[in-house]
Structure 1
Amino acid sequence: MTSITGADRDDARVLWDFHQLNHRVRPVSAAVALGGCDIGVVSAVAELYRARLFPTVVFTGAVTAATSGRFPRGEAVHFREAALALGVPDEAILLEPHATNTGQNITFARRVLEGTGKRVDSVLLVCMPYMQRRAYATCRRQWPEVEVRCASQRVSFDAYAKAQEDEAEFVAMMVGDTQRVMEYPGRGFAIEQDVPERVRDAFERLCGRGYDAWLLRD
């Protein structure tokens, strides 16, 4: 794939809108910042922390094949350093450097928070914009006792896509997330969610045009 067409962007925008949950954020017991390829997650964390929406944030994420080139010491480690540079105090940060997938992000962060001995009855998941729906569904399955909301950088699809080093790779990753929203409930990893026909159609068209690098193969 050498170029992105207007039709590709139109279908990608459908997926982007689907993954945006548009939760109204409010104060919570703690935040969990999910690792990934986008350091912009940290900017969102810093903004939300300054708004006094949580007293503590867990940065979670190990060294993974997808991000080892960008974050060679692990996603959580690099995210923590970026957060400190943006003014989030060290005493507000907890580190979980072992998770290699979203389910582990949630379960391992939960253990870290429970280890503090503080009551946690609500969490704010801070993640990449197109990961919100999958993160939410995973948390609802893995940690059903808490109230969960999601937040990300406030950015449009066009601005986010333009900022990517490889726009085609970004679209392929979003296609992969869409598949996981549909497939993971059957594997016990996440709760079931309604996927509108227009989203399924856009997903199928993008798969057919070659945006399939991040699809599940088993």
Structure 2
Amino acid sequence: MFATCDSGYVLDMLDEEAETLELNEPSATLNMLFNCLHYPPEPYTEPPKSAKEDFTRVQFKSSPESSIPFPILPPLLRLADKFAFTDELTHCLRSHLSAYVATYPLRVYGYAVELGMDAVAAKASMFLLDPPISSYSAEDMKAVPSAEALQRLVLLHDYRITKLKEILGGESIFPHDYGLCSKHGHKTRNLWEQRKTQVLPKIQAGTFTFCHFGAT
């Protein structure tokens, strides 16, 4: 197709045996394709972290201002796969899709799984912990490309919950007796351990619960 730009190339439109290339994409899609090739975007870079940002929980953010608009990314990534974009350009587009994991987590997860972008899919899954998957509508769930992709997401969430319970269950409430009541030490420890065993089964992915046991 691009050989027509070479000096001295002559295309005989009357030659029925001349090789042709048919492009089934609509003009708007081809316009995106050629713009991306002629004016390749810069990779997306995360803005600097704010000193006041809460690092104790998953952050839900608005659409990043410096990224390629989200509706354009899925068709561009499919074009990158179909027309074998360079690795550099493909990685650049993937960095822009990754920028939306907190804004459109379910859709980004679906696109990432479809395109074999496991790292982006795993990152998007972090933002699907809360609200739970059961809260999404049937129309929303169409973003997940297959039953296998949904099952992988469910298993990943279950693994996270299981490991979190194991970590918390193995932690000592009063390490080296720090903070233990000097007067009722043994009774205090037993009471808090009892409360811990009651709370552990209630832990869910993406749930931040702060409990006051009222021990005295």
Fold-level similarity (TM above 0.5):
no
TM-score range, shorter chain: under 0.3
Which protein, 1 or 2, shows the higher relative CO under an 8 Å CA cutoff with sep ≥ 6? 1
Which TM-score applies when normalising by structure 1?
Answer: 0.22
Pick the structure with greater CA Rg: 2
Which has more strand, going by share of residues? Answer: 1
